[in-house]
Structure 1
Amino acid sequence: MSTSIGGLAGSGLLTTLRSVRSSKALTAFSNWHAGAMGHRALGLKMDDLIPEEGPIVGEALRRLPPKEQEERLFRFRRAYALSVSQIELEAKDQMAASEDQPYLRPMIDIVEAEIATKENFDLLDKIPESLKGRNRSS
């Protein structure tokens, strides 16, 4: 009996996971959890909580546009001042769920994909036949 992801059992599993992921209950729980974390009350976005350690996140931060870097620094400084004062932003100034869009995670995904591509390319010991026709020198 095969239980591979590519088989019939896998497609049913993926369909079930997609339906659960898009369910109203899970969406409501996700919104509640994001609000309960408290980062929005300090004016932070979810991606501001990603630790900066490591070369991948460092490279992703370096690639951010200057305006996004300035906004990130402003959010950190404001959150630090609020934290030291032990207060939260007023409700009208808190980060709204609609504003809390990922800005760093997509860049991290790009950097990870580039690293994976480079590592795969470095592991090649010969040029694949399918690529030889594309290169005029081979």
Structure 2
Amino acid sequence: MTIFGPLGLSFAPQIRKSPSLYRLFKPFADWYAQVAGYRQMGLRYDDLLLEERDDVQKALGRLSEREAYDRIYRFRVASQASVIHKNLPKEQWVKPEEDVRYLKPHVEEVWKEDLERAKWNNVQVQRKR
């Protein structure tokens, strides 16, 4: 896959390959994830993806029952915390090691399928004379 993936331009693969760049950007990335506040509400990063996108809709349909249930539960807990204007207690925050990309592989798979479908849909049949 190129750096122009389904989620836009990303320099993350190049940063992960270079140990010095990784050490330079990792503290900033950790700080940013903490400041964003989604983990304090009990959400994971992939919960923030826009559901209105077609590729995300298809990917959501590919989640296992358990993953879909957990996602809905996280949204309900976050909604309740938002209504009472308080973050969850610290022991209920999502830890960085728990914040795994559970939806991204499905979105990338849908994106690749759409690319392949676009290639095959452009095939023109010419009649022999």
- In structure 1, give the amino acid aligned to 2:115: A
Corresponding position of 1:26: 25
* Mapped contact 1:47–1:105 kept (Cα < 8 A): yes
Equivalent residues in 2 for 1:1-138, closer than 5 Å: 18-19=17-18, 22-125=21-124
Misfit runs of 4+, over 3 Å: 14-18
* Mapped contact 1:60–1:104 kept (Cα < 8 A): yes
* Mapped contact 1:60–1:107 kept (Cα < 8 A): yes
Q: What is the deviation of 1:105? A: 1.0
TM-score (norm 2): 0.80
Identity across the alignment (%): 30
Residues 20 and 123 (structure 1), Cα distance of their counterparts in 2 relative to 1, 3 Å cut: farther
Unpaired segments ≥5 residues, structure 2: 1-12
Number of aligned residue pairs: give it: 113
- In structure 1, give the amino acid aligned to 2:90: A
* Mapped contact 2:15–2:22 kept (Cα < 8 A): no
Aligned partners of 1:107 and 1:38: how far apart in 2? 25
CA deviation string 1:14-49 (max 9, x = no partner): 978842784212011101101110000000000000
- In structure 2, give the amino acid aligned to 1:119: A
Question: Which structure is larger by alpha-carbon Rg, 1 or 2?
Answer: 1
